[in-house]
Amino acid sequence: VELQMSDQHGRAITPAHVGILGGTGKLGRGLARRWRRAGVSVTLGSRDGDRAARTAADLVAEFPTSGATLTGASNAVAAAAPLVVAAIPFAHARDTVADVAEPLAGRVLLSAVSPLAFDDAGPHPTAVEGASSAAALLAGAAPDARVVAGLHTVSSASLSATDRELDDHVLMCGDDDDALAEAAAAVAALGVRPVVAGPLRLAATLEAMTAVLIGVNQRHRVHAGIRLTGLAD
Ligand X SMILES: NC(=O)c1ccc[n+]([C@@H]2O[C@H](COP(=O)([O-])OP(=O)(O)OC[C@H]3O[C@@H](n4cnc5c(N)ncnc54)[C@H](OP(=O)(O)O)[C@@H]3O)[C@@H](O)[C@H]2O)c1
Residues binding ligand X (CB under 6 A): 22, 24-28, 46-48, 51-52, 87-90, 92, 96, 112-114, 116, 151-152, 154-156, 210
Nearer residue to ligand X within complex by CB, 13 or 19: 19
At residue 153, what is the residue type?
T
Q: How far is the CB of 159 from ligand X (least distance, A)?
A: 8
Q: How far is the CB of 125 from ligand X (least distance, A)?
A: 10
Residue whose beta carbon is closest to ligand X? 25
Q: How far is the CB of 9 from ligand X (least distance, A)?
A: 32
Strand-pair category, 83-86 with 169-174: unpaired
Q: φ and ψ at 107, to 5 degrees? A: -80, 155
Nearer residue to ligand X within complex by CB, 13 or 32: 32
Q: How far is the CB of 149 from ligand X (least distance, A)?
A: 11
Q: How far apart are CA 35 and CA 92, in angstroms?
A: 25
Q: How far is the CB of 1 from ligand X (least distance, A)?
A: 20
Are 24 and 51 a contacting pair, CB within 8 Å?
Answer: yes
Q: How far is the CB of 91 from ligand X (least distance, A)?
A: 7
Q: How far is the CB of 12 from ligand X (least distance, A)?
A: 27
Strand-pair category, 17-21 with 41-46: parallel
State the number of CA atoms in the 13 A half-sphere of 133 facing the CB.
25
